[in-house]
Amino acid sequence: MAGGENLKRILDQICRDKGIDRTLLVDAIEEAVRSAVRKKYGGRRDIEVQFNEELGEIEVFQYRTVVEEVWDEDEEISIEEARLLDPDVELEDDLGEKMDNIADLGRIAAQSAKQVIIHRMRDAEREVVYEMYRDRQGAVVNGIVQRFERGNMVINLGRTDAILPRDGQIPKRSFKQGDRIRAYLLEVKQDARDSQLILSRTCNEFLVQLFEMEVPEIAEGVVKILGAAREPGFRAKIAVSSIESDVDPVGACVGMKGSRVQNVVQELQGERIDIVPWSPDPAKYVYNALAPAEVTMVIVDEDQHSLLVVVPDDQLSLAIGRQGQNVRLASRLLSWRIDVKSEQRYENLSNPGYKSLLAVAGIGEPLADKLMGAGIFSSVKLAEAELSRIMDVLGVDEDVAAQMKLQAADVPPPEDAADALFSSPEESSSEPETVEDGAAVVQEAADDQEPAGNAEESAEEGQPGNAITEQDDDPVDDGAGNS
């Protein structure tokens, strides 16, 4: 085998560089040599392999039984030959003989030994990595972009590599090889064919950890993040609360001239972050979460875990946000279903004539709004309207308009409000409809509520929250947020 000093030096260097226990590495080499010897000489021989620490050599011994007449040279040795090795040997003794001809085990045997050593070293390395990082799961780690593999990023953490999957990368901006990067250590696997360490930059926990690193009050436990919701690379909301009355949780997270939140925004590559004051009252909470949009009224349905939010007509797009982003994040933040309606639409919903229009198959709230705006205040009026007028108001073809007229004629008017079917919204009652038992109505959100900045993706019973809006077209971006 390799010279004693040379083998010792190789073992010490590997243990130092890889952090592998020396005993594990010695065991791997012994197993490799044992496998190689059996590959060359067969598996019937009784072989023992051990590393001699004093000589720094791998020694191989073959044990055979001492007999008078040899029938199997692999397992037996004659008494005469045995006494040349040990004069005191007796029949039926097991005699160990050092094999001196193992230096040249042959190409196949040597390759087998190499594979065994590599396999054992990889197992040992995986165990070292697991022990090193298992307590760091859930923390933010720093690394350098090493290379790219099928859309995934391989990040060098110093002692080992980690994988940042495609779905864990923030869209819109890419890193290049050699860039420094921070990510959340999402998972540490004990056994894995590829990488044991899985990173993420899109999870809510990464946002929370960044704020904990930037805001001392959070690290000290004075300010708590009670919720977070993200659309990575675009917008995020966090809900914060303070256990001390003299500490403003939103101000602590924003920092002097916005320095703290801006540091987080830069790390998230420009993701806008709204900071929302948390409240145990869902009505006040949603008021904060939808800011800077004004909220006129909130109806809370505890049983259905849903909120009906009424906003001024000119605040609807602001409350909904671009492509529903603002209300969608608020819904995830609260883990409640949120339905946003304008004051005009909410008033329409209390009108029996408007309800009768909604009862016509194929007519939803947007089309009902158009009909009401054109003076068609009920299903009866719709059934009497000219086809050309329906086509012009709703932008449908003649067949669809004719079908709506037929279906409208089949819709029975409400018995207790038949006259209202022929009245305009202004002539009908302006009182809101009665809220079912168990629901709470919050009129004109309290004056002491602060404008919200923005919160954690949560879900009712562990499922993402649902946001339902009345938008007909993509609303303009509300421009809200603390950053």
Domain assignments of the chain as residue spans, ordered by start = 4-129, 137-202, 207-344+440-469, 351-422
Q: How far apart are CA 337 and CA 326, in angstroms?
A: 13
| pLDDT at residue number 382 | 85
Q: How far apart are CA 384 and CA 376, in angstroms?
A: 9
| pLDDT at residue number 119 | 73
Q: Which numeric CATH code is attached to 137-202?
A: 2.40.50.140
The reply to whether 4-129 and 137-202 are identical in fold is no
77 — alpha (psi -120 to 50), left (phi > 0) or beta?
A: beta
pTM above 0.75, yes or no: no
Selected from 3.30.70.890, 3.30.1480.10, 3.40.50.300, 3.60.20.10, the CATH number assigned to the domain covering 4-129 reads 3.30.1480.10
Q: 412-417: which pairs have CB atoms within 8 A and are 24 or more residues apart?
A: 413/352, 413/356, 413/378, 413/379, 413/380, 414/352, 414/355, 414/356, 417/352
Q: 194-197: which pairs have CB atoms within 8 A and are 24 or more residues apart?
A: 194/163, 195/154, 195/161, 195/162, 195/163, 196/126, 196/129, 196/130, 196/133, 196/160, 197/129, 197/133, 197/157, 197/160, 197/161, 197/162, 197/163
What is the sign, positive or negative, of the torsion defined by CA atoms of 156, 160, 166, 167?
negative
Radius of gyration of the chain from Cα atoms? 38
Tokens read off for 304: 């259905």
Tokens read off for 190: 């004990």
CATH class of 351-422: mainly alpha
Q: Decide the pairing of beta strands 76-78 and 57-67.
A: parallel
| pLDDT at residue number 357 | 85
Q: Which numeric CATH code is attached to 207-344+440-469?
A: 3.30.300.20
Low-confidence ranges of the chain (pLDDT < 70): 1-8, 10, 13-14, 16-21, 42-43, 74, 100-117, 192-193, 414-483
